[in-house]
Structure 1
Amino acid sequence: MKLRLMVISVAMSLLFTACQKQSTLVVPISQPKQQTLVWIHHFDEEGARKWLELGTQLFTKKHPSYTFTLTGVDGGNYMSLLRTRAISNNMPDMYMIDNLESAQDLIRTGYALDLTHQPFLSQIDERFLSGVKSADGQIWALPIDVNGAGVIYNKDAFAKAGIQHPPTTWAQFIEDCAALRKVGIVPIAAGYKDSWTILWDIAADLLANQHAAARNWMADIEAGRTSFAEDGIHFKDILKRFGERLTYVNAEPFETDWIQAQLLLAQGKAGMIINGTWTVDGVKSKNPASNLGLFAFPYSNDPDDAKFGLKSTGGIVINAKSPNKEAALQVLELFASKEVGTIFQTNKKALSVIKGLPNDFDPTYVELNDTYIQTGKTYDWSRLPTDFLNQDLQKVFINALTKFVLDPNHNVNLCIKELDQAFDRIRKPINDSR
């Protein structure tokens, strides 16, 4: 009898254990739902893309329930794409802007989240918040870097041409162009197949003269408060200098794109590119051993005028209508950290706006830091535009500059006359003063 009871007891125990195991197998294990953040940008340079990839991977590691879709768009079509997506209510969770002025329509229609009181902004150098702040003090983007407008040059190419130091006057600049060409080096690389580079070939000159005149001349032109012919910031001289140096660009510049132009500089086949400091990333992505330097565009024959334009405007924007905006705020908190700032400077080869990071992280920037930043030979162009907000006027401006390049005589007066006529057809002049 005892044996029978023992057998029954053991059998029940086994049955109970089996039931326990079976019930454990059928209980579902809850997994956090994975969400995807869509981030659209206009970075072409490998280092900038690497920064985005590494930064978002770091976030995903810390927050496994999130993943990212990073979409790069050609800079020339970038804002048009964003506006098309806004119209169709298909905006990404996050996106980049270059400046607040060009993104006012996106801000007005609710596609930008107000970041004014976010704690992570305390990690940003206060000097660089003005470029993302509207007149009422609201902050609409997380700034990421300090952009400069000037000349990027290949030090080895300069040495081969016997140029001992960068030019500080316009006369020296032209002499150096001749010296480079004499030893078989293209003085200035031009990638006009990408039309935005034409604008940036004159941007450093245009910005320096707007700053010298303490005037937002492009806004005045756009509003009809002045004309090209009135020559308020010596635009005729800007065009004249452009025409003078066009003889020193590579053959068939309209058959050469931006990537090919950077490659010419990376290989030492060209001596200079006149553009923004982001060019350093693009060139070093193609040849990490490139021995590059930076110098201010010398628009006059007074060495004291040769100042390097630096600014921080625009940055990372969160779509206020995004269902993932809380997660996006956490992304910005990470991207405002020294950890990601170091990733940025290491890969993008650009000056970060994050506090406590060095200015001499790359040999190219040592020269910029020593020659210009530490000596106060810089100016802030965060409130000065390089583009017209009205896209019809912008197209006219690009087309006029293109025609000027193609004109073998580089006729300054004709270009200015045609610009004024075309602008008058598009916008209605007003007589208010600023």
Structure 2
Amino acid sequence: MKPYRIALLVLLPIIFSACHSKTSTLMPSQESRAAKPQTLTWIHHFEEEGARKWLDTGTQLFAKKHPEYSFGLMGVDGGAYMNLLRARAISDNMPDIYMLDSISYAKDLIHTGHAMDLTGQPFLSQIDEKYLNGVKTEDGKIWALPIDVNGVGVIYNKDAFAKAGIRTVPSTWSAFLETCDKLKKAGIIPIAAGYKDSWTLSWDIAGDLMAKQFISGQNWISNVETGKTTFADDQVHFKDVLKRFGERLAYINDKPFETDWNQAQQMLAEGKAGMILNGTWTIDGVKSKNPASNLGLFAFPNSENPEDAKFGLKSTGGIVINPNSPHKEAALQVLELFASQEMGNVFQKDKKALSVIKGLPTDFDPTYIELDQQYIKTERVYDWSPYTNDFSNQDLFRTYMDALTKFVIDRDHNVDRCIQELDQAFDRIRKRAK
């Protein structure tokens, strides 16, 4: 959730002028003032226009119904988001409300008492039960209001595919490489890469890695982090994931580390690029740049068996309340509003993503009609909520991202060297932590 960016600060109406009036100079006790609204602070990492519009609509609707409250919305660079939250937690300066992409990735915030237990809240009955699993800890407690069903795979421009004479999406790895060749011959960049925003690197391989974790039934990222396994053990065939990554790097745009996420999305929006490998939140970003973008989705093909090409869908994060907030009762009312069908429809319309709220239509956008028909209804999907894509230990995470960066820069894309250096670096970091 939500989920890569230049840091931005967006403060919505939080300054209200007090109204002063005197009925008479002889009766100053009759002076009246309008009470200044109390401000609910909300930190998020939404960059996409549709997501911000949904958030603005909901908070403005709440403030209209409850004029005693206003909102201070703060949007933060996705790459720096968790570091900011953890720094605020340490300094006891947490917002009233905040977003989390993954409960499993933020257990430290839960354990230190910075997330309210939402178990049993009436508004949770509005959520499709299967999407509550991703916001639960092992003890069954619920820590966030999930908002969307995130998918991980390939987002493609149908017009670019048509221009290159590609009539069907690839379902095997060899067919994927053939697709890249056809796009390249047609003068189209096969894959848009915005590695200037480093978070996109790990999501470039997420469609492959998540599927491998699902097939093995193991949260491999967690196992590596705790030292239960190593990169060299190749528990989920991470070597093959890297190998495929190296092979498709021949098809990305020039100067990927000078290209940011917005520029990569712009390439796909204009049909200059054929594909982006990332999450379904990409659709909002691309269509914000070009509403006429003719987009589609397909599962990343990680083998020569078409049956392995399944689309990963999950909901593992959402809206969290700070239990130490002086406005926690109001915050619960905010979540009640955002769990309504009214806000679910706004979400699907503006953010262009599948809502977790019951009873909403699935034909709100052509891109999702294809996903529903080709994958959801044919049961070619898997739940990736038990699996993570990032390391929660920040030293390990930075080391992992540095290794992926070095792998891209290395002209040989040497898999064995990358694996060896990762294991050596992780061992050093774990020993320092003991």
State the TM bucket, normalised to the shorter chain. Answer: over 0.9
Normalising by structure 1, what TM-score? 0.92
Q: What CA deviation, in whole Å up to 9, does each residue of 1:153-182 have, x standing for no partner?
A: 000000000000111111110000000000
Q: Which residue does 2:97 correspond to in 1?
A: 94
Normalising by structure 2, what TM-score? 0.92
2:391 pairs, out of 361, 372, 388, with 388
Q: CA deviation at 1:276?
A: 0.3
In the alignment, does 2:350 pair up with 1:358?
A: no
Q: Which residue does 2:60 correspond to in 1?
A: 57
In 2, distance between residues paired with 1:415 and 1:195? 17
Residue type matched to 1:330 in 2?
Answer: Q
Q: CA deviation at 1:27?
A: 2.5
1:341 pairs, out of 322, 344, 348, with 344
Residue type matched to 1:74 in 2?
Answer: D
2:420 pairs, out of 413, 417, 421, with 417
Q: CA deviation at 1:195?
A: 0.5
2:78 pairs, out of 72, 75, 79, with 75
1:118 pairs, out of 118, 121, 137, with 121
2:382 pairs, out of 379, 383, 402, with 379
SS in 1 for 2:73: strand
1:45 pairs, out of 36, 44, 48, with 48
The structure that is helix-richer by fraction is 1
In 1, distance between residues paired with 2:160 and 2:56? 33
Q: CA deviation at 1:103?
A: 1.5
SS in 2 for 1:427: helix
Q: CA deviation at 1:87?
A: 1.3
Q: What CA deviation, in whole Å up to 9, does each residue of 1:357-415 have, x standing for no partner?
A: 11221011000000001111000000100001111111111111100100011111111
Q: What CA deviation, in whole Å up to 9, does each residue of 1:87-137 have, x standing for no partner?
A: 111111100011112221211222111111211000011010011111111
Q: What CA deviation, in whole Å up to 9, does each residue of 1:331-359 have, x standing for no partner?
A: 00000001011110001000000000112
Q: CA deviation at 1:31?
A: 3.5
1:230 pairs, out of 233, 253, 258, with 233
In 1, distance between residues paired with 2:157 and 2:189? 11
Q: Which runs of 5+ in 2 are unaligned?
A: 1-22
Write the mapping of 1:21-420 to structure 2, written as runs, cut at 5 A. 27-29=30-32, 31-420=34-423
Q: CA deviation at 1:420?
A: 0.8
Contact residue 224 and residue 428 of structure 1 kept, 8 A: no
Kindly report the root-mean-square deviation, in angstroms, between the aligned alpha carbons of the 2 structures. 1.5
Residue type matched to 1:249 in 2?
Answer: I
SS in 2 for 1:138: coil
Paired residues, number: 410
Contact residue 205 and residue 238 of structure 1 kept, 8 A: yes
Q: Which residue does 1:6 correspond to in 2?
A: none
In 2, distance between residues paired with 1:209 and 1:200? 14
Bigger drift between 47-56 and 27-36 goes to 27-36
Contact residue 116 and residue 323 of structure 2 kept, 8 A: yes
SS in 1 for 2:145: coil
In 2, distance between residues paired with 1:24 and 1:129? 59
Closer, same or farther: CA 365–24 of 1 in aligned 2, 3 Å: farther
Q: What CA deviation, in whole Å up to 9, does each residue of 1:16-70 have, x standing for no partner?
A: xxxx999889524464441111100011111101110011011111111111111
In 2, distance between residues paired with 1:23 and 1:113? 51
In 2, distance between residues paired with 1:353 and 1:23? 60
Structure number with larger C-alpha Rg: 1
In 1, distance between residues paired with 2:56 and 2:125? 24
Q: Percent identity?
A: 69
